[in-house]
Every structure is written in C-alpha cells, then in structure tokens.
A and B are shown apart, each in its own frame.
Chain A
Amino acid sequence: MPGAHAGRHQSREQARALLRASRDLQVHVADLAGELPFARPPTLAEVQQALPGDDLRCLRVPQPDGSALGLAYIETLIDGRRLWDEVVKPIVSGTLRPEALPRAQPIPNLHVLVHRLLLGSVVLLPPAGPPLALDLKGLQQRAVGEPTTEQEVVGPKEAFVENLQTNVGLIRNRLRDPGLRVQYHTVGRRSRTRVAMLYLSDVARPETVRQARAGLQSIAVDFIRTSMDVAELTFQHSWAVFPLVEQTERPDRVAYGLAQGRLVLVVEGEPFTLLVPVTFFDFQHDGEGALPGPAVTLFVRLLRLSGLFLALSLPALYVALLGADPLFLPVPLIITLAASRFAVPYPVATEAVLMMVVADILAEATAQSASAIGNALSIVGTLIVGQLMVQAHLASTLLMIVVAASLMGAFLTLKFPLSYALRIWKYALVALAAVGGLLGWFTGLLVMLVHLASLESAGVPYLAPLAAARSPSAVARTVAQPGRGQLRFRPAEYRPRQAVAARRGGRR
C-alpha cells in the first residue's frame, strides 16, 4: 500500500507540474490534457515524426565536451541570425551551456514541444535533462503606422499592427496602471491563435470579465481568421446586424476604454482590437477625444444624429410621402416633386430601391478597392451612372439627392459595421413605407427600436444610457458631453466597480 500511495502522490505532482508548465508557457491547459511528462529526453527523430514538414530543421551541434546538442526549429518562423549569434556560436565555442541560456524554458512533454515549435521557438535537446524552448520568433512584422480607417485630424497617429506583443505593449505604454491585467488564451484547434484579454482589475465589471473568459474558453472551432470570429463566438448574437463589440485600431481609444471600465481583446495577427461592452451611442462618439470643448462636441454629435436619421429614414420618407401619403406635404411642394419624376416610368418604391442598390454597389466597390481604383469608381458612379440615370429618366433628380444624402449619413460614423446595419435597415424601412406609407415607415422604426432594445453587449443594454439609464445625467451625456473638468464619473452603463474617475473640476 505504501507503493500505491507513493504512486498517487507522484501523479498529483505530475499534474501540478503540468499546470505550472501550462501557466508558464501560456498554453491552454486543455491542450495538455492527457499528455504525460517525458519518460526520457526525446530524440530528433521523434521530433521529426511528431511534426513532419520540409521547413522543420533538425541539427546536431557539437559541444566542446564531445557530445552533441540537438536543435529543432521551423526555419520559416525563427530569426536565423539570432539563432547563430545567441545559441549556436556560444555553445560551439564553449562559452555557454544550454542549461544556462537566458529565457530558456523547460518543456514537459511532446505536445508542448510541438506547440512551441509552431509558435516560433527553437527547441534544444541536450544529451541529458529535459528539452528547452527558446523564443526566437523572427517573422517579419509591419512597423507601427498611422490608422487607416479611424483617422483623426488632431490626435495620436499610431495604430495597432498584426503582432500581439507589440499591440499589448502599445496599450501598456498608454496605461501604466498596476491594475491592468493581461491574460492570454489560445483559441482555434488548428490555428492556435493567441488572444490577449486586458482589463483594469479594480474598475472593470467582474461579470464582464467572467463572461469574456468563459466565452473564450468555450470557442471550439478549427480556425480563427479575424477578430470578428472571436467577437461573434464570444459576444455577438448571430442574427444581430448591429455590432455588439467595438473594433478599433487606435491604442489611445483602447486605453481610454480600459480606463472607463471596459474590457479589451487583442487577437494575434489582427490590427483591430475588440472593446466590450459597447452601446449604440458609443459609435456616435468616435473621435471626440481631440475636439475642443463641449460646444464643438455637441455640434458634432448633433450632426451625427442627423446623419443617422438621414441614413435610415430619408429614402423611406421619400417613398412614403411621394408614393402613399402625399397629402401631408404642402401643395406647391407636391407639384414640384411630382414634376421632378414625371417622366420616370415606374413606381416610387421601385425607383428608390433601384437607385439604392446602385449606390450601395458603388459604395461597396469603392470601399473594397484600392485607393486609385476607388477614386475611379467614385467618378464613374457620380458622373456617369448618376447623371445618365437622370438623363435617361430612370430616376428623378430629387431621388439622387436623397440617396446620396442617405449614404453620406451612413458613413458619417467612422465605424464600418454600423454603416452596414444602417444600410440594411434602410431597405426594410423602404419596403414598409411602400406598403404602409408613413405608418409603415414608423412601424419599421418601432421594429428596429424593439430589436435594439432586446440586444445586450456583454450584459449591458445596447440602448443604454437612453434606455436602462441609471441616472438622468447619463441620458443627458448621450447628446451633450460635459467639459473635461466635469467628467468625474465613469459611464454608469458599463457598470464599473469604481464609479468616480476624477476629482471635482478635474484638478488637484
């Protein structure tokens, strides 16, 4: 029986060692399940058998004592010069022993060994002792550059890149708070994409952190292509056309969001990070950091709200008022409008849908094309399609103005996913307006309102603070941003653990 007891004790120790290794090596514990520690040091042949491939290099480096050190690495992932300078040269010359290599970490089993090779580590197989992993990742990376989709006239000019460590560093550089927690997860059974979860431990809502962690751990897909994959699998309702996470490429916006009590997910290989929770009105407040004072902010917000209304309702109102309920307009205006589409041979709704489809095709083609082609497409769309459609009496001049204003309103917000949602709902409103006139248009708005009211982002109502408001000041803040000195409290809609963010007046 003492032998059985000792065996159980040994297996417990092994399990603990496994857990420790998983924590140290930032590998998901589930990936290690069933993997036992090496009974003896593995050979290069076993490594080759575990990860066959032409880019796997297995070398034997002679040591001064006559023994050979095994080296295994994927040549397309590591920095060859660093391998020569930091490993091979010192070991061959006898100035350094493998066990004394800085940053070398022991590898407990074959599973972790393969994982580290795929992450860009060099695996060292000494004649005695456990294998070691040394991070020498040397993939070429893009330098930190300017934002491409969230440009601001005044403000910081740096944007995230595809490297996870660089992105986390950019955030830490802007938020030097000891409470900032960084937790790594690995998602995707085959892509093994690393995701960093960041939050301020004393500010962020614990339920949001728990929900994000559980969501990341529950992901069970083979491949993670973009950060939206992570967002949809963790937070996004599949059928919601409105974005329930905020994507941003600006470190300053991420740091500000963290300070407000939000949570950030940084996905490896993706220059866009995810911010949760997000509300519908957050998308209207983009790029306000550099605006001088509350008056200008109020002006910009009112412009954006007007743009939102134009994007959603202008085509539908055109169809409702001209096609179904013209009596609501003054008589002179009715005559003018009727004259403008006198020669158009089909109903108002058909005309509107046709023009909207053409305009959306042009907008999408421009957005997805390179800048030179995009400019050419814009010219084609504006001069040729628009002008000729009016001349050919396929659409009225007024409708061209309506569709153009609607499209401009949709792009007034800097976030692409929201503009898609607005453009989709625009078609629904036009369809209802064609059937029910003004009442149909209003019914469509109510359906959209119910849809928005039923959505939640990481447990926070999507319509907050307008709905589910915790204080009247939060509602007022939706439209008018107070001066910087008055921003004492974090947004209540994120339900932060610490509500107060600054002293009164914002000064000592």
Chain B
Amino acid sequence: MSAAQPRLSSWQILLLVFTLSLCLTPFDLPALLIPRLGARAAWWGALPALGVGLWGIAVATALARRAHGRSLDRTVLLALGPAVGYVYLAALTLLFLFSVPGCLLVYGPAAHGDLLPRLPIAFVAVMVAAVGTYAARSGPEAIARCAEALAPLLAAGLLGIYGPLAAFHLRLGALLPLRPPTGAQWLSPQLAGATGTIRGFLCLLVLGPMLARRPPATRLALAAVLAWALVVAALVLPLAVFGAPLVTQFNFPFLAAEATIGWHWLPLRSLVGVTLLVWYALTFLVFATYLWMAAWLLRRLIPALPRRGPVEVLGAMAAAVASLPLPEPTFHALFIAWNIGVVVLGVLVPTGILMRGGRTAPPRAPAGGWGP
C-alpha cells in the first residue's frame, strides 16, 4: 500500500483537512476559552482562529501548487537552505510528534470520565492508538479511504447531533445578548493560543504535494474555504454563543451537559453515545494522519530509519504517554504552546518561503504531464 509516492485525490485531501480541523474544535474552543474569558465575550475567539485557518489553507495550497509534486522537505531545503531548512523540518516533526499523543490526551479522559468509567484511560488510549497505528502503517491512501467511508457517518453525526444543538444555542443567543471582549481579554494567552485551533492546513502542507492530479490549487482552495466556513458557521460560532450558565456545564462531562441541553421530545441523552462514537472516529482519523505525517517527516530527517518501524514505535509511545496522568494546568500550557507552534511553523514560515519566490519555482512539466 505505502508506495514511495502516495497519490491522493483532491476530495480525499479535503476530507482530511476538514477532519483535522473539526476534531475537538467544537469542544475545546468554548470549553477552554469561555470559562476563562468570561461567558458571552468568548465568541470572538473563533474569529482569529478562522482567519488563521484561512491563511494557513491559502499558504499551504499555494506552496503545493508551486512545488508541483516536490515533497515538502525538498521544497523547504531548496527555499531555506540546508541549515535553516533542517531546523524547520525538525521543529515541524516535533510539532507532529506532540500532536500524536495530543489527540489521545484529549479524548481518553473525556471517554473515561463520562461514557466508560469502568475502563481505564490507558485502555481507551491503547485502543485508539492500535487502530490508528494500523491505519498509518497501511499508508495515507488507506487513511484517506477511511475518511471517505466514514464521511457519511460524520455528516450524519454532525447534522443529527450538532444541528439541533446549534439551533437550540442560536435561540439561546437571541435571549442572551453577546458582548465584545475587553482590551485585557484580547491580550490573554488563551485567546492567542486559540488562533491555532483551526489546524487542518497542517496536513495540507505534507499531503498537498501528493495530489494525483494537477494543478489542484484553485478548486481545492475554494473547497477548503467553504469547508472552513461550514465548520465555523455551523459549529464553532453557535457553540460559542452559549450563555455562561450552560457553557460552564458544557465544559465536560457530557452527561452533565445532556441533562441541561435538549428538547423535551429529543433528549440528548439518547444521542450522547453516538456523539462519542463519532468523536472517536474523528480522533482515530486525526491520530492516524498525524502519526503517518510524523513518521514520514522523521524518515525524511533520518533516512537510515526503516520504512515501517517508526510508525509502530511512535504509536506505542503515544499510547504510553496518553496513559499517564497529566495535570490540567500543564495540559493547557502545552496546548497553548502547541497552538502557537502551529501558527509559527504552519503559517508564518511557509508564508516566508512563498515570499522568497524564485527558489521554489516549479520545475518544467514532464512530457506526459503531471501524474495520471
């Protein structure tokens, strides 16, 4: 399966971008920000996140178009030179390596605390890690096909669960007027960290050059922007306009939220299990994608590494790390640092590479065209 140069379709990459952006976004953005920034003012946090997401998509798409099939590492080394290029690639690898257990760190405790109290966190982490490692071992094509196959389930989950939820919150938002943030709130580290929350462009950086057909940029960028608009409009903003009493309860556990939210004829209790399973599927896809990208970058940095060993080792390490208890403040500090890293390494540096222009100019097209 894992050929030297995997080939993905635009639709597959779009799904992965969407999945990586969607995973945890509706939960962590209000859950992290609102209790700290103060109730109804926190909805502003979604706007810079959306801006950074769009910027990241545009930069990653332009870079993929300019690279014309050249992998990210070669483009970076060509543009930044060997010394700076390797430093950047090492930092990006570290970012991905941190992302791998990060998915489990968020999902494991939630599932353990709310749905499966009889199961240890380590067990949940090992299950996700095992499936994700198997998928990453099978290659990006297999992950992308899983995303395609799961797309109806994810769509049904989003529409069925978050649709009524969003409608309810919009009604609630009409009752509770929104407030803009104050100056102090703008400068808070939480808000700064949240700008990296919409992060699907990270996979576009690595997977963009693997597109089967070229030039992909225009249509892909448009589709990605539309996907982002859907994410933010349908999920993030309605959830961000929670009233303070509800939001503080929505900051997990689920079962506490379900007692408060819902219509009398459609209680959320019956849908919570489905929500968690949909979220589980999202987590698996995100874990597998990050794991494959981390292993791929690691092999590019250290060519002596075997082709399949790193995936298994990293998967096992991620499960082990996610099984350890992590204090809440440490987790939040790491989360904010990671988000800032996403903005710097995923948006600012690629923008700089683009601005250098000439040294990343596309090579001449081969006689048979680009790809099949």
Q: Chain A: residues with CB nearer than 8 A to chain B?
A: 324-325, 328, 436-440, 442-443, 446-447, 449-454, 456, 461, 463, 466-469
Is B131 part of the contact surface with A, judged by Cβ < 8 Å?
yes
Q: Tell me if A453 and B273 are in contact (CB < 8 A).
A: no
Which of B111, B142, B143 is most buried by chain A, counting CB atoms within 10 A of its CB? B142
Is B123 part of the contact surface with A, judged by Cβ < 8 Å?
yes
Q: Tell me if A463 and B127 are in contact (CB < 8 A).
A: no
Q: Tell me if B148 and A466 are in contact (CB < 8 A).
A: yes
Q: Tell me if B273 and A328 are in contact (CB < 8 A).
A: yes
Is B280 part of the contact surface with A, judged by Cβ < 8 Å?
yes
Is B116 part of the contact surface with A, judged by Cβ < 8 Å?
yes
A442 interface neighbour in B118, B130, B280, Cβ under 8 Å: B280
B277 interface neighbour in A438, A450, A467, Cβ under 8 Å: A438
Q: Which residue of A lies closest to B150 (CB)?
A: A449
Q: Tell me if A450 and B146 are in contact (CB < 8 A).
A: yes
The proximity string for B residues 137-167 relative to A, scoring 1 for CB distances below 8 Å and 0 otherwise, is 0110111111011100000000000000000
What A residues does B116 contact at CB under 8 A? 325, 436-437, 439
Q: Known pairs A439-B119, A447-B134, A453-B143; list 13 more (Cβ under 8 Å).
A: A325-B273, A328-B273, A436-B127, A438-B273, A442-B281, A446-B131, A450-B138, A450-B146, A461-B141, A463-B148, A467-B144, A467-B148, A468-B145
Q: Chain B: residues with CB nearer than 8 A to chain A?
A: 1, 9, 11-12, 111, 115-116, 118-119, 123-124, 127-128, 130-131, 134-135, 138-139, 141-146, 148-150, 273, 277, 280-281, 284
Q: Tell me if B146 and A453 are in contact (CB < 8 A).
A: yes
What B residues does A439 contact at CB under 8 A? 111, 115-116, 119, 124, 127, 277, 280
Shortest Cβ-Cβ A-B pairs, 7 listed: A467-B145, A453-B145, A454-B138, A467-B148, A454-B142, A453-B142, A450-B135
Minimal beta-carbon separation of B306 from chain A (angstroms): 19
What A residues does B123 contact at CB under 8 A? 436
Q: Which residue of A lies closest to B12 (CB)?
A: A468
CA of A442 to CA of B284, assembled, Å? 11
What A residues does B284 contact at CB under 8 A? 446
What A residues does B127 contact at CB under 8 A? 436, 439-440, 443
Which of A447, A454, A469 is most buried by chain B, counting CB atoms within 10 A of its CB? A454
CA of A452 to CA of B145, assembled, Å? 9
CA of A449 to CA of B134, assembled, Å? 11
What A residues does B144 contact at CB under 8 A? 467
Q: Tell me if A468 and B139 are in contact (CB < 8 A).
A: no
What A residues does B130 contact at CB under 8 A? 443, 447
Q: Tell me if B148 and A468 are in contact (CB < 8 A).
A: yes
Q: Tell me if A454 and B148 are in contact (CB < 8 A).
A: no
Minimal beta-carbon separation of A282 from chain B (angstroms): 16
Please judge, given known A-B contacts A454-B1, A468-B9, whether A442 and B138 are in contact too, CB under 8 Å: no
Minimal beta-carbon separation of B106 from chain A (angstroms): 16
29 residue pairs bridging A and B, Cβ less than 8 Å apart: A324-B118, A325-B116, A436-B116, A437-B118, A437-B119, A439-B111, A439-B115, A439-B127, A439-B280, A440-B127, A442-B281, A443-B130, A443-B131, A446-B281, A446-B284, A447-B130, A447-B131, A447-B134, A449-B150, A450-B135, A450-B138, A453-B141, A453-B142, A454-B1, A456-B1, A463-B145, A467-B146, A468-B141, A468-B145
CA of A161 to CA of B312, assembled, Å? 49
What A residues does B139 contact at CB under 8 A? 454
What B residues does A461 contact at CB under 8 A? 141, 145
